[in-house]
């Protein structure tokens, strides 16, 4: 059967106390709604409609890169049933199953949705509600059962004290038969504590009409947690990280202190790599096998080869580090920096759009920008590529085996030839031919007994 997805994301998210729409808050490297979209995409739906309302344009523009999304506007926001009605024009007369998701329930596993849809289609129900048994049901709609079967859902604010003790809750995730759906939704009134059209009332309406309503109880209730406050956002983040860390440890990665190790869900780490406390691996980062990454390092969207050591407090973004290389402590690699095999980058060295060839070293205090550096080059302490001429970025080439003495400046565009030497403190303004020595400072002068003379002048 065809599956269509609708995601509710029009609400204000008052409890977040934010100027941003709730569904755009970030969790494990993606916004809440992107998590939901990813899970939905795993089912290969025929269509995906997002109901937006509060700050609709923000939500829409944040999702620009997602192809094929349809947006329905809900203005004003009169409740979750009213929200679903806004998607009617995209779905009227379509056959199949409607999977209704909440933009603020980001942790659902794809296999849970697959099970929900499967059971729903097998049982020919008009509606299947995903539910969970939880320790603390506070804030959720409660599943009221009669003779074991779901009879209705009652919201916290409308529940009697006895109903509040029910620990089976509504996840806000539903599978509906599309046929006749919108007529039933229209039958939902707003006679409740919040004066809203509640989608969970579909259960009672359908039961009254003699239709079959089913439930599926989720195995792990943590999956269906909704994010309504900053505290719940932090909790969900902790849960995601724990899942990721557990998965990596099971695959042979050592994580010394999982509680302080933050790894985004999409990151890949090879076996026998050791992660020390306070390491952050973000975005599409890939770390090879047998690496050691020390405390305080943050790596974003970067590729690290096998057997690499990243020492303390490095920041590496959008860059590559080849196998066997050693980086840090306190190094900054960014914007397509490319540290090749067995190269070494030491403390207070910044590489931007620069490749450092295999076996080359830049061990102390350097800025290397827009430079192509060959293999087995030595970059002395305090070397600076002066890559910006005031209007444009200019390239520097340093060929294989060259030696750049400490405290030198390379005024780009400039090339230092193969095996050439640049003396300490040289300002290199012209190309250095292969094998040459470049020096720019004048001859040193020593003034004998100068210190004694000065002392005599100052009484
Ligand atoms: C809802 C359910 C509750 C369930 C819980 C699970 C209702 C009335 N209650 O409660 O039974 O246990 O989810 O997390 O549905 N939204 C709109 N338009 C609106 C109102 C809400 O699009 O007019 C969207 C919100 O942006 C959000 C979702 O619907 O993404 C859920 O709304 P929310 O206000 O968070 O509902 P809960 O109180 O959590
Ligand atoms: Ca919610």
Residue 458's pLDDT is 84
Exposure b/e, 234-247, CB count within 10 A at least 16 = b: eebeebbbeebbee
State which ligand 1 atom lies nearest to the alpha carbon of 51: 22
The partner residues of 137 in beta bridges, in order of sequence, read none
* Residue finishing a domain among 163, 195, 224: 224
Please tell me whether residues 327 and 303 are part of one structural domain.
Answer: yes
Please tell me whether residues 162 and 256 are part of one structural domain.
Answer: no
Give me the domain span that covers residue 261.
230-438
The pLDDT tens digits for 82-91 are 999 999 999 9
C-alpha–C-alpha distance, residues 355 and 375, integer Å: 10
- Nearest 5 degrees, angle CA 35-CA 36-CA 40? 120
Q: Which residues are catalytic?
A: 364
State which ligand 1 atom lies nearest to the alpha carbon of 77: 23
Please check whether residue 22 lies inside any domain of the structure: yes
- By residue count, the chain amounts to 459
Pocket of ligand 1 contains residue 401 by CB under 6 Å: no
Please check whether residue 49 lies inside any domain of the structure: yes
344 contact partners, CB below 8 Å, separation of at least 6: 325, 326, 327, 360, 361, 362, 363
Residue with the nearest Cα to atom 31 of ligand 1?
102
CATH assignment of the domain containing 176: 3.90.550.10
CATH assignment of the domain containing 263: 2.160.10.10
For the chain, residues with pLDDT lower than 70 are none
* Residue finishing a domain among 224, 256, 276: 224
State which ligand 1 atom lies nearest to the alpha carbon of 225: 14
Please tell me whether residues 316 and 176 are part of one structural domain.
Answer: no
C-alpha closest to that of 16 among 135, 103, 131 = 103
Please check whether residue 449 lies inside any domain of the structure: no
Please tell me whether residues 152 and 247 are part of one structural domain.
Answer: no
Please tell me whether residues 286 and 427 are part of one structural domain.
Answer: yes
Pocket of ligand 1 contains residue 102 by CB under 6 Å: yes
Pocket of ligand 1 contains residue 140 by CB under 6 Å: yes
State which ligand 1 atom lies nearest to the alpha carbon of 82: 23
Please tell me whether residues 150 and 21 are part of one structural domain.
Answer: yes
- Encode 232-291 in three state secondary structure: HHHHHHHHHHHHHHHHHHHCCCEECCHHHCEECCCCEECCCCEECCCCEEECCCEECCCC
Residue with the nearest Cα to atom 22 of ligand 1?
10
If one counts every other C-beta atom within 10 angstroms of the C-beta of residue 361, the result is 18
Ligand 1: residue of 7, 9, 11 to mutate (most ligand atoms within 8 A of CB) is 11
Pocket of ligand 1 contains residue 385 by CB under 6 Å: no
Please tell me whether residues 127 and 269 are part of one structural domain.
Answer: no
Residue 441's pLDDT is 84
What separation in Å is there between the alpha carbon of 7 and the centre of ligand 2?
12
Please check whether residue 453 lies inside any domain of the structure: no
- In the chain, the number of structural domains is 2
Please check whether residue 88 lies inside any domain of the structure: yes
Residue with the nearest Cα to atom 37 of ligand 1?
140
What separation in Å is there between the alpha carbon of 44 and the centre of ligand 2?
25
Please tell me whether residues 16 and 125 are part of one structural domain.
Answer: yes
Please tell me whether residues 203 and 248 are part of one structural domain.
Answer: no
Which ligand has the shortest distance to the CA of 174? 1
What separation in Å is there between the alpha carbon of 172 and the centre of ligand 1?
7
Please tell me whether residues 195 and 269 are part of one structural domain.
Answer: no
Please tell me whether residues 237 and 159 are part of one structural domain.
Answer: no
Instruction: Enter the pTM of the model.
Output: 0.89
Please check whether residue 32 lies inside any domain of the structure: yes
Please check whether residue 372 lies inside any domain of the structure: yes
Please check whether residue 213 lies inside any domain of the structure: yes
Pocket of ligand 1 contains residue 103 by CB under 6 Å: yes
Phi and psi (nearest 5°) for 57? -65, -35
Please tell me whether residues 112 and 187 are part of one structural domain.
Answer: yes
Residue 342's pLDDT is 98
Pocket of ligand 1 contains residue 105 by CB under 6 Å: yes
C-alpha–C-alpha distance, residues 364 and 382, integer Å: 7
């Amino acid at each position: 059967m065809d599956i269509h997805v609708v995601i509710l994301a029009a609400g204000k998210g008052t409890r977040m106390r934010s100027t941003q729409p709730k569904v755009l808050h970030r969790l494990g490297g993606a916004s809440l709604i992107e998590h939901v979209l990813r899970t939905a995409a795993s089912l290969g739906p025929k269509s995906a409609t997002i109901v937006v309302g509060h700050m609709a344009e923000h939500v829409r523009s944040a999702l620009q890169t997602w192809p094929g999304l349809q947006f329905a506007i809900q203005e004003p926001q009169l409740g979750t049933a009213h929200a679903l009605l806004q998607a009617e024009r995209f779905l009227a007369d379509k056959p199949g199953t409607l999977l209704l998701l909440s933009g603020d329930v980001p942790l659902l596993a794809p296999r849970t949705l697959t099970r929900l849809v499967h059971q729903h289609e097998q049982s020919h129900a008009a509606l299947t509600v995903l539910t969970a048994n939880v320790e603390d049901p506070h804030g959720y709609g409660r599943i009221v059962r009669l003779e074991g079967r779901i009879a209705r859902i009652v919201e916290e604010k409308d529940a009697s004290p006895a109903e509040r003790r029910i620990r089976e809750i509504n996840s806000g995730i539903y599978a509906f038969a599309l046929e006749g759906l919108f007529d039933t939704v229209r039958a939902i009134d707003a006679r409740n504590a919040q004066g809203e059209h509640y989608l969970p009332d579909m259960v009672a309406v359908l039961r009254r009409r003699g239709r079959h309503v089913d439930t599926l109880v989720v195995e792990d209730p943590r999956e269906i947690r909704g994010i309504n406050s900053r505290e719940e956002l932090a909790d969900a983040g902790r849960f995601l990280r724990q899942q990721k860390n557990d998965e990596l440890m099971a695959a042979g990665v050592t994580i010394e202190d999982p509680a302080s190790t933050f790894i985004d869900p999409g990151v890949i780490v090879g076996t026998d790599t050791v992660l020390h406390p306070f390491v952050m691996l973000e975005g599409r980062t890939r770390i090879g096998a047998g690496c050691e990454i020390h405390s305080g390092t943050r790596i974003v969207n970067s590729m690290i080869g096998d057997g690499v050591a990243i020492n303390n407090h490095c920041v590496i973004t959008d860059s590559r580090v080849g196998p066997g290389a050693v980086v840090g402590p306190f190094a900054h690699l960014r914007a397509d920096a490319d540290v090749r095999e067995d190269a070494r980058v030491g403390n207070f060295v910044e590489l931007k759009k620069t490749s450092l060839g295999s076996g080359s070293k830049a061990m102390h205090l350097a800025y290397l920008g827009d430079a192509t550096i060959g293999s087995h080059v030595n970059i002395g302490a305090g070397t600076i590529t002066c890559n910006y001429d005031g209007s444009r970025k200019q390239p520097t080439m340093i060929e294989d085996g060259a030696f750049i003495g400490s405290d030198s400046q390379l005024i780009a565009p400039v090339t230092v030839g193969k095996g050439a030497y640049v003396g300490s403190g040289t300002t290199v303004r012209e190309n250095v031919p292969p094998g040459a020595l470049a020096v720019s400072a004048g001859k040193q002068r020593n003034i004998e007994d100068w210190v004694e003379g000065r002392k005599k002048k100052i009484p």
